[in-house]
Amino acid sequence: MSTERKDQSDRSEPLDALRGLAISLVIARHYFGFKYGMLGVDLFFVLSGFLIGGILLDSREQPGYFSSFYGRRAFRILPLYWLLLALLPPDHWGYYLFFIQAIPWLEFGYPQSDLTFVTWTLAIEEQFYLILPILIYWLPRRWLIRTIWAGVLLAPVWRWLFHAYLPDHSWQFLLPGRLDELFGGVLLACFMRGYCRSRIVWLMLACVPALCDVAYAVMVEPFGFLSIAASACCAIVWLGANMERTELLRPFVWPGRRCYSLYLFHMLVYDVFFDFGRPLAGCLALPVVCLLAEITWRTIESPLIGYARRRFARAEPATIRVVGVV
């Protein structure tokens, strides 16, 4: 597989369409009060684990493993993130620069009405980007799979602990409570590369977190079924990665390729029209944020992504065995 083809795989239409679906759900939640819109965040996390995990697995034996990954991520994530922080300087902004804003949030409360609160997902992603490359690079395949499965299986336990001892449903905004989504995506990438020895064992393990959430809800209290959402999103990503006919998904490709700007700035734009109330404010904000996303894509994102691909080009990976749908 050539480097050019590998770069194109990062922009596959089905996965871009899933990004578009995810950001559409999030915007529908915030603009129009769609009840299930936060499933878009769950889908984003699974997609991130799947795509980033696949990139790292394919390049783990190649020179420039860390520099290529972190160079590309920096040019992808930081410019628009810094732009948001410059436009809306948050309290404790120094923590935001290092993606550890959860520290003051735990001390002073979660500023859910703050327009920069959307960065909680970026903080989780960046912390995930620090951990996963090291795991994939240093661990042999057997221990890598065991470690990733441990993260998936322990995620409900972390959520129970956070729910019991931390305020404001902190399990939603901290990395350990989202590991079944992020590592679930990585497991999908591993499966497609032939890392699975027993499909039955993997299927049984995949059911454990969801069953734990159900058991906790029955025996203690219902406070979230994130593992069920993670399983559903893993199934969606699997179907998208193996989809051949993509005609129905094409309307989501445009927002999928501009989803980062749409996500970062959609609440900022909505705030301008907030006084109009729902759903009028959402109807007015939607075309504006789409125009803003197109402008930032053409002037900032796309040029910097292209530069990063040239500057941090990946070496040609070895042939990969990909397991198809049975």
Report if residue 319 sits inside a domain: no
Which residue is listed with tokens 């809306």? 88
Q: pLDDT tens digits, residue range 195-239?
A: 999 999 999 999 999 998 899 888 888 777 899 999 999 999 999
Q: Are 220 and 164 in contact (CB under 8 A)?
A: no
Report if residue 286 sits inside a domain: yes
Report if residue 272 sits inside a domain: yes
By C-alpha distance, which of 207, 100, 118, 224 is closest to 163? 224
Please provide the DSSP assignment of 122-184 as one string: HHHHHHHHHHHHHHHHHS-HHHHHHHHHHHHHHHHHHHHHHHHHSSTTGGGGSGGGGHHHHHH
Q: How many CA atoms lie within 13 A of 205 on its CB side?
A: 20
In terms of residue numbers, what domain contains 18?
3-311
Q: Are 15 and 240 in contact (CB under 8 A)?
A: yes
pLDDT average, residue stretch 72-84: 96
* pLDDT confidence of residue 262: 97
pLDDT average, residue stretch 44-67: 94
Question: How confident is residue 282, by pLDDT bands cut at 50, 70 and 90?
Answer: very high
Instruction: Write the DSSP symbol of residue 118.
Output: G
Q: Are 168 and 110 in contact (CB under 8 A)?
A: yes
* pLDDT confidence of residue 77: 96
* pLDDT confidence of residue 129: 97
Token pair belonging to 112: 């859910």
Report if residue 257 sits inside a domain: yes
Report if residue 35 sits inside a domain: yes
Report if residue 324 sits inside a domain: no
Token pair belonging to 164: 């019991």
- Among 67-71, 99-103, 181-185, 213-217, the least confident range: 213-217
Identify residue 38 by its one-letter amino acid code. M
Q: What number of other Cβ atoms are within 10 A of residue 97's Cβ? A: 12
Q: Are 316 and 3 in contact (CB under 8 A)?
A: yes
Report if residue 289 sits inside a domain: yes
* Distance linking the first and last C-alpha atoms of the chain: 24
Q: Are 170 and 109 in contact (CB under 8 A)?
A: no
pTM of the model: 0.91
Tally of domains within the chain = 1
Report if residue 325 sits inside a domain: no
pLDDT average, residue stretch 57-67: 92
Which residue is listed with tokens 């053409």? 298
* pLDDT confidence of residue 2: 36
* pLDDT confidence of residue 300: 96
